[in-house]
Amino acid sequence: MCETANSSLITLKLAESKASIRCHWRVNPAPTGTKAPFRTFDLLLTTESIWPKPETPGALFTKDLEIFEVFHSNGNATRILGDCLAQEFLCRCIINHVENKGSSLTALKLLLPNVDGYILRKDLIQRRFLGCDLPCEIAEFISPRQPVSKFDGATDVFSAALHQALGGFLARDTGANQQLAECALMQLELEATLRLSFPWIVANPLPQYRLAIVEGRPHPTISAASEGPYRAASALGVEVVVLDFDGHWLQNANNRNLCGEFLVCDIAPGDELPDRIVAAVSRSRGPIHGIITYSDRLLVSTAKAARLLGLWTNHPHCIEACCNKSKLRALSQPDQPVLSARDVADLRHKLNALSTPLSYPLIIKPDRGSSSEGVMLVQTEQELLEAMHKNHINFPDREHLIEPYISGPEVDANFVLVDGSIAFSEINDDFPSGADLGADLSQSPSFAETSTIMPSGLPTSELALLKSKLAERLKSQGLKTGMFHVEARMQHSRMAYEMQGQAMELSERPLLGSQVPNVFLIEINPRTPGHQETFAVEYTYGIDYYALYTLLALRQLPDSPSNGNVPDPALNALETLICPLPDVIQYPTNIVFVPVSRGGTFAGARPIPTSLLAHIPHYRVLLKRGETIPDPQQSGRWPFVAYFLVTASLIGQPGREQVRALGECIRHEFHYEVL
């Protein structure tokens, strides 16, 4: 360490061994020119003696420590075993050091508060370091609403640093080279400054809110969709109250760490559902401060229940217009020719009544639905009638929308709006589906997703146009506050997808003189994006949509007489958490989707090669061995066999090329069998 470092000797007895470990340490100044609410404390462990050397790796535990004292250079001694979480972390690191027989240096960095305040989110350090491989371990010693005081270290600096530490990093093994260990600590310092330089220690604690969630999400063994919502609520200290059918997995008392209270409720969609939700909430053991759902089919009923309960929500009519694709199209793009029909007879009648024939190709899809179910591309009237017949059989309770097929790159655009202003937004590329590619390049006629890469590769001018036009559409729909997942196409884009090697990628194309880039809205979803995309956003941008969706639901009613001039705690917390990672550490991600290609019985999948797993922080095979897959050509549903979240180690265009190439490797290496 540098000349200003201090030195202490740690003596301990571990099982049959006695050790003297030299700890060089220093307190670093707070990062300058930033909003970082922390400073750091570095520790470097070296060995003076270990005797006898432990012979059984992995056999030592913190409980084996019989003596643990620190003798400082000023002659003072501190006994610190088991007093706080940071000391337990240090104990574990020392044990690992001893088990390595002192052959390597051990470098640690602790985060110390540099302001007075309260912890907003208990896992913030872990979440902001997603994808960073500099530390081999990240530890956090905080809880939501925990008060912290600015570190001054006026007396016993070493002991005070351990007692006030918010979190810690164990650097990767650098061997016995002190220069490399110093370099690792410097890299961690820079990374912490980049990732944590925003005011995440807040002036006032978040109140102890209770949030109701209508429909508890699938069991974790079935889907990862439940992972994010409950993790975010717990990290913020928000108690979750789940409303769902009797027998749901969260009803079990063993899941109380996820769900503080479970209320049995018949959540079958219908006109009476809002009243059933209100009746269930009335049985809760405490006040409910917000209510949300992640299910498309329950969005309108949940909004109606929120209004009955006097809780914040967007107007149910606005949400209903989003959930009904015919209504959304009529309101948002009235100039686009659109037909709506119930069945083949109704469609024939409306086709005969047209003054001018339809221009093909066309899209036909149910006016309500998700996951591209029932969405088909047709080239002739005969194909249109056949598609209508198939959709009427599969979705008999729905109207079916017929509209022009708009070519151009498709995007997912996610917005967080607060009172009409964009608090955060990002746009990512939804690569061509099998239906987009056509029969020459794809055997699948579906619009099921294939790959989603973020950030988008479209030109800056087109991204700005998408952002402004889509935000205007949201506000014109009466949606001025909330989390919105919007799907759109960039018509007449300067970019088009072309084959580059073995895969598709955006390439610049010449524009005809009359062509002007135009935004075509496909749909609005007044909720977070799917969990795969939500996870990817957190890796690339450091933004947790689940936390933001939770806080938006907890906001106060704008016209509440109790508000006065008091700031809204939920919106203040949201404003704090909407701080994206700097551009220099925004690593692209690719979500690789593998939709089914045919019906049958799922017979399993081969493991992905280990060499690829280093780039895949999250993935799921969604089908179980022996599961029956209905013929998607007949059912209109194209479920996913698996998905893979792929992360880059480079930024910008090189990172995009990296995750795109890795995605193609996964497609080549992932093999599954349908009998």
Closest C-alpha to 217, from 233, 205, 202, 238:
233
Q: Assign 47 a pLDDT band (cuts: 50, 70, 90).
A: confident
Q: Assign 1 a pLDDT band (cuts: 50, 70, 90).
A: low
Give me the residues paired with residue 439 across strands.
none
Closest C-alpha to 439, from 518, 373, 511, 383:
383
Taking 80 as the threshold, does the pLDDT of residue 562 lie above it? no
Taking 60 as the threshold, does the pLDDT of residue 57 lie above it? no
DSSP 294: -
DSSP per-residue codes, 538-563 = HHHH---HHHHHHHHHTPPPTT-TT-
Report pLDDT for 475. Answer: 95
Mean pLDDT, the chain, as a whole number? 89
Report pLDDT for 510. Answer: 81
Burial of 640 by CB count in 10 Å (0-12 exposed, 13-18 middle, 19+ buried)?
middle
Q: Side-chain half-sphere of 490: how many Cα atoms within 13 Å? A: 31
Report pLDDT for 74. Answer: 61
Taking 50 as the threshold, does the pLDDT of residue 67 lie above it? no
What digits encode the pLDDT tens for the residues 318-370?
999 888 777 777 766 666 667 888 899 988 998 888 888 888 999 888 887 77
Give the highest mean pLDDT range of 26-40, 143-157, 438-452, 572-586.
572-586
What digits encode the pLDDT tens for the residues 631-653?
888 887 888 999 999 999 999 99
Distance between CA atoms of 48 and 9, rounded to whole angstroms?
Answer: 9
- pTM of this structure: 0.93
Where residue 397 falls (left for φ over 0; alpha for ψ -120 to 50; beta otherwise) is alpha
Report the largest interatomic distance among the alpha carbons of the chain, rounded to a whole angstrom. Answer: 98
